[in-house]
């Protein structure tokens, strides 16, 4: 049994997000909107040894299968991540993280004067550009620390 | 123009721009021919921020096309005061009008509003974002005075928050124009505008001092440096003072230099400049009517 498995037990049904850059696990949960309030069991391993990444994080969410759209959003903060969908302890599907063209309702625009931060019935929307993401409404570009702009609300 | 709405100058191709400017020139030459073109049509004016030129010239433009306007009036007197969202307001207003002109203090407001209406929506300024109709009249003025190709233009003042600058600089990438940006370091172009200019293949040449580039300019486009952008009055005065144009500053300029300003000015351009052959800012403001007539003529169904 490997060190990782010792720290983070196997799940019966759900999603395993592996090869997350060390220290990013909580941001992965935030970007997926997983905060435990829906009662799902969540296991997190942080800074465990990895041949590929040196240090990696691993996240296991029970009884929730991530969609491709949700997985793609992860590319913004965890482009190396691998996603395994587990049913009855078996990996039934492996999803690849692909860079989406658009990210909707996940990030908050850092421009306080952007219309998406006013009290309007509109979700934030960012176009994914080479150097980061760009607000579809006010054009503000976020290049660094995208995870800091995850909309926790 | 292929689009239903005019939200940002980045959506305008050279062909779009030239079509509007050509139509404006036709209207300018023979205003009477356009008099009844949009009789019975109604244009809604929704201005959440103060405006003189933009609002009055849209009003005049629609009336000179034979149409009518309905004005939301000041925000304090409207349902906005009761807490109505912009999305709801424009959905209501589109039922009263064939097109909507919107000015709003938030960046992205016009883009969002356009997603809630089926009638053409025209961005008349969204915070520090864009002001594409000002750009069209700016380009018209430049074309009348110099032509839009083989042009060297200096754009000076508040480049960070100046929405007229953001729209104009991008629109100029459709033409053979060399752009020089002159501003204090704290008011240089924002990252998003640089990104678009870079994507459009434009070279951004930035200066903190006008002197170095003034002699080569065909057009000097001056914008207002606003007091509220600085932490204190003394810093504002010191910086704003370095970007003021008086007749003596223009001694080193070409005789043919055109000085433009979207107005209102405070003291960026001394009144003495008004009497020189360089001054074109009042002509520029007057061009708002034929250009907006041409735009409405293009966008109205």
CATH of the domain at A141: 2.30.30
ipTM: 0.93
Query: Do residues A23 and A91 both lie within one domain?
Result: yes
Q: What is the pLDDT of residue A70?
A: 83
Q: Looking at chain B, which residue has its C-alpha nearest residue A136? A: B108
Q: State the residue for tokens 């034979």.
A: B66
> What span, in angstroms and rounded, lies between the C-alpha atoms of A65 and A13?
8
- The pLDDT of residue A7 is 53
Q: Is B233 exposed, middle or buried (0-12, 13-18, 19+ CB in 10 A)?
A: exposed
Domains of chain B from N-terminus onward: 9-130+288-299 (3.40.50.1370), 132-285 (3.40.50.1370)
pTM of the model: 0.91
Q: Please indicate if any CB of chain B lies within 8 Å of the CB of A128.
A: no
* pLDDT at A1 exceeding the cut of 50: no
pLDDT band at A69 (very low <50, low <70, confident <90, very high): confident
| Same domain membership, residue A14 and residue A50 | yes
CB-based contact A141 B108, cutoff 8 Å:
no
| Closest by Cα among A76, A73, A147, A149 to A111 | A149
Q: Could you list the residue range(s) of the whole structural domain that residue A114 is in?
A: 102-149
CB contact (8 A) between residue B105 and residue A119: no
Strands A54-62 and A14-21 come out as: antiparallel
Active site residues of B: 53-54, 82, 103, 131
CA proximity to B10, closest of A139, A66, A99: A139
Domain identity same for A84 and A133:
no
Domains: count for chain A: 2
Co-location of A71 and A120 in the same domain:
no
Q: What letters, b where the CB count within 10 A reaches 16 and e where it falls short, cover A51-88?
A: eeeeebbbbbbbebbbeeebbbbbbbbbebbbbbbbee
- Of A111-125, B73-87, B107-121, B143-157, the range with the lowest mean pLDDT is B73-87
* A122, A129, A140: residue with CB nearest B112: A122
Kindly state whether residues A73 and A132 are assigned to the same domain: no
Same domain, residue pair A27 and A81? yes
Whether residue A145 is found in the same domain as residue A84: no
Interface A:B, Cβ pairs < 8 A? 62
Mutate to test the interface with A, among B103, B107, B132 (most CBs of A within 10 A): B107
Nearest CB among B112, B127, B196 relative to A120 is that of B112
- Asked whether residue A7 falls in the same domain as residue A53, the answer is yes
DSSP per position, A60-125: EEET-PPPHHHHHHGGGT-TT-EEEEEETTEEEEEEE----SEEESSB--S-TTBGGGSS-S---E
Cα separation of B223 and B236, whole Å?
15
Is there a single domain that holds both residue A70 and residue A136? no
- Quick check: A5 pLDDT over 60? no
Q: Contact B87/A139, CB-based, under 8 Å?
A: no
Judging by beta carbons within 10 Å of its beta carbon (0-12, 13-18, 19+), is residue B2 exposed, middle or buried? exposed
pLDDT digits (tens, 9 = 90+) for A70-126: 888 888 888 889 999 999 999 999 988 888 999 998 899 999 999 999 999 999 999
- Beta strands at B151-156 and B219-222: parallel, antiparallel or unpaired: parallel
- The reply to whether A90 and A109 lie within a common domain is no
Cα dihedral angle (B2, B5, B8, B9), rounded to 10 degrees?
40
Q: Is A108 on the interface with B (CB under 8 A)?
A: no
């Amino acid at each position: 049994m490997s060190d990782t498995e010792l720290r983070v037990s196997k799940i019966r049904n759900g999603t395993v997000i592996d090869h997350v850059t060390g220290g990013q696990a909580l941001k992965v949960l935030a970007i997926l909107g997983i905060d435990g309030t829906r009662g799902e069991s969540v296991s997190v391993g942080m800074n465990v040894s990895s041949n590929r990444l040196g240090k990696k994080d691993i996240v296991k969410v029970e009884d929730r299968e991530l969609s491709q759209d949700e997985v793609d959003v992860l590319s913004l903060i965890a482009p190396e991540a691998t996603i395994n969908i587990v049913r009855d302890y078996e990996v039934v599907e492996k999803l690849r993280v692909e860079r989406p063209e658009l990210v909707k309702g996940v990030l908050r625009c850092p421009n306080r004067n952007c219309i998406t931060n006013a009290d309007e019935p509109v979700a934030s929307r960012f176009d994914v550009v080479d150097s980061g993401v760009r607000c579809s409404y006010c054009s503000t570009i976020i290049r660094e620390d995208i995870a800091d702009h995850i909309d926790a609300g | 123009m292929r689009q239903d709405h005019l939200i940002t100058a980045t959506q305008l191709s050279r062909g779009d721009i030239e079509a509007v400017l050509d139509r404006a020139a036709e209207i300018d030459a023979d205003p009477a021919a356009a008099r009844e073109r949009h009789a019975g049509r109604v244009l809604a004016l929704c201005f959440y921020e103060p405006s003189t030129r933009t609002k009055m010239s849209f009003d005049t433009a629609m009336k000179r096309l034979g149409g009518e306007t309905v004005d939301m009036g000041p925000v304090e007197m409207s349902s906005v005061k009761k807490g109505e969202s912009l999305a709801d307001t424009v959905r209501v207003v589109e039922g009263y009008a064939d097109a909507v002109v919107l000015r709003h203090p938030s960046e992205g407001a016009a883009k969002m509003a356009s997603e809630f209406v089926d009638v053409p929506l025209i961005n008349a300024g969204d915070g520090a974002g864009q002001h594409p109709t000002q750009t069209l009249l700016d380009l018209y003025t430049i074309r009348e005075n110099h032509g839009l190709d083989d042009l060297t233009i200096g754009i000076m003042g508040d480049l960070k928050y100046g929405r007229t600058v953001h729209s104009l600089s991008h629109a100029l990438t459709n033409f053979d124009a060399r752009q020089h940006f002159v501003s204090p370091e704290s008011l240089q172009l924002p990252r998003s505008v640089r990104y678009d200019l870079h994507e459009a293949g434009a070279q951004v040449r930035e200066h903190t001092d006008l002197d170095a580039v003034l002699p080569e300019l065909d057009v000097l486009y001056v914008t207002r440096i606003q007091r509220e952008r600085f932490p204190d009055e003394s810093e504002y005065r010191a910086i704003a003072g370095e970007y003021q144009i008086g007749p003596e500053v223009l001694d080193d300029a070409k005789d043919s230099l055109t000085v433009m300003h979207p107005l209102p000015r405070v003291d960026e351009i001394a009144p003495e400049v008004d009497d020189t052959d360089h001054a074109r800012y009042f002509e520029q403001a007057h061009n708002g009517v034929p250009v907006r007539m041409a735009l409405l003529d293009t966008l109205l169904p």
